[in-house]
Amino acid sequence: MKIKDSPSRIVFKVINTILMCLLAFACIIPLWHVLMASFSNPTLITQHSGLIFWPLSGPGRSATLGGYKIVLKTASLARGYANTIFYVGVGTILCVSFCSIAAYCISRRRTLWMKYLLLIIMLTMFFNGGLIPTYMVNKYLTLVNKRWVMIIMGLMPVFFIIIIRTAFMQLPASLEESAQLDGAGHMTILIKIILPLSKATIAVIALFYAVAKWNEYLFAVIYLTNRKLYPLQVLLREILVESSGNLDFNIANEVGGGGEDYKKLLQYTTIIYATLPILAVYPFVQKYFVTGVMIGSIKG
């Protein structure tokens, strides 16, 4: 039974549609601007002000892939990429493993002590020692300026453990009991039975962690001073925020003279270079993030 819309309803719908179009435009245009600028002529970028909707080029000043050529040949950025991939890869595997073990432990119903483990974990959500005491602990453990500090910090977010635990608790208890009767140990039960049945949740957690780790820079800034260990985001910060000349861009080798013009272009190309993996997988994985928020919200 379709009822015809009233005039005020039609006005609302039109305005609402326009608003939503504007929102979508506003959300995508800054990223589009950066993408287009990254192909633009370096000299024209420095003269241009305002949004760039299409690669800037002009007579004798063509659009260029030159920025990318320089960025790809920059050794420190390549190392940053490798470091980030290490932190993301190893971090994701360990985060998922340890969070699953923790969730498994606190989801055991017929134990005397595991409810206290749950309490120990939950309490850390409400209070923590803060930045400096945590830093001191890592300092005493000589973890400052070590690769592993990047993995250890944020290894087991309480929120993740709770989400995985909720997934584990939803599985029928009879499954594990019969496995136990067959003589399976806890590790076997976890790996062979529980994890495969919760793989949707685990995948969402892995995805959340991986994206957050790829984008994270604060731990690196706090704990690392050795440039060889820097993840991409810290190098990006130097290029974009501090505009420092620390980076070994080989501009002169690539384009001869006129290197100053490239500074701005290189900012744009480095953004795309460092964000490409996220943008490339985003369309395929965004629905999992939506699922992730939903799982999280059920627990609230």
Partner 1 sequence: MRLTDIKKDWARNKSVYFLAIPIVLYFIIWSYIPMVGIVLGFEDYSPRGGVLGSEFVGIKNFTDFFSSYYFGRLLRNTIILSVSSMIINFPAPIILALLLNELENKMFKKVVQTISYMPYFVSVVVICGIIIDFFAYDGAFTELFVRIGLIKEAKDLLSVKSAFRPIFVFSSTWQGVGYGSIIYLAALSGVDQELYEAAKIDGAGRWKQMLHITLPSISPTIIIMLILLVGNLLNVAMEKVILLYRPVTYETADVISSFVYRRGIQEGDYGYSTAVGLFNSIVNLLLLLLTNYISRKYSETSLF
Restricting to residues 124-143, which ones interact with partner 1 according to CB under 8 A? Answer: 124, 126-137, 140-141
Site size toward partner 1 (CB under 8 A) is 86
Residue 155, interface with partner 1 (CB under 8 A)? yes
- Residue 113: how many other CB atoms lie within 10 Å: 8
113 is a contact residue toward partner 1 (CB under 8 A): yes
Q: What are the φ and ψ backbone dihedral angles of 61, each rounded to 5 degrees?
A: -130, 85
Q: Which of residues 158-187 bind partner 1 (CB under 8 A)?
A: 185-187
Match 């136990």 to its residue by tokens: 180
**C-beta separation of 92 from 157 below 8 A:** no
| Residue from the set 35, 70, 77, 102 that interacts with partner 1 by CB under 8 A | 102
Using the contact rule CB under 8 A, the part of the chain among 61-69, 71-79, 148-156, 191-199 near partner 1 is 148-156
**Which residues, including other chains, have CB under 8 Å from residue 214's CB and lie 6 or more apart?**
84, 88, 232, 233, 277, 278
Under the binding rule (CB under 8 A), the answer on residue 288 touching partner 1 is no
Q: Is 16 in the site for partner 1 (CB under 8 A)?
A: yes
Stretch that binds partner 1, among 12-20, 170-178, 197-205, 246-254 (CB under 8 A): 12-20
| φ and ψ of 145, to 5 deg | 70, 30
| Cα 254 from Cα 250, distance rounded (Å) | 7
Q: Tell which one of 120, 173, 200, 276 touches partner 1 (CB under 8 A).
A: 120
With CA atoms as reference, report the closest residue to 163 among 121, 114, 218. 121
The one-character DSSP state at 58 is B
85, 114, 197, 203: residue in contact with partner 1 (rule CB under 8 A): 114
Token pair recorded at residue 35: 């993408």
Is 250 a binder of partner 1 (CB under 8 A)? no
Q: Cβ closer to partner 1: 134 or 253?
A: 134
Q: Which is nearer to partner 1, 259 or 277 (CB)?
A: 277
Token pair for 197: 């049945």
- Among residue numbers 41 through 100, which ones bind partner 1 (CB under 8 A)? 48-51, 98
**Cα distance between residue 108 and residue 249, in whole Å:** 55
Indicate the residue among 218 and 252 with the shorter CB distance to partner 1: 218
Residues 184-243 interacting with partner 1 (rule: CB under 8 A): 185-187, 211, 214-218, 221-222, 233, 236-237, 239-241
Segment lying near partner 1 (by CB under 8 A), choices 58-66, 150-158, 195-203, 251-259:
150-158
Q: What 8-state DSSP symbol labels residue 154?
A: T
Comparing C-alpha atoms, which of 287, 105, 292 is closest to residue 201? 292
CA separation for the pair 181, 226 (Å, rounded): 53
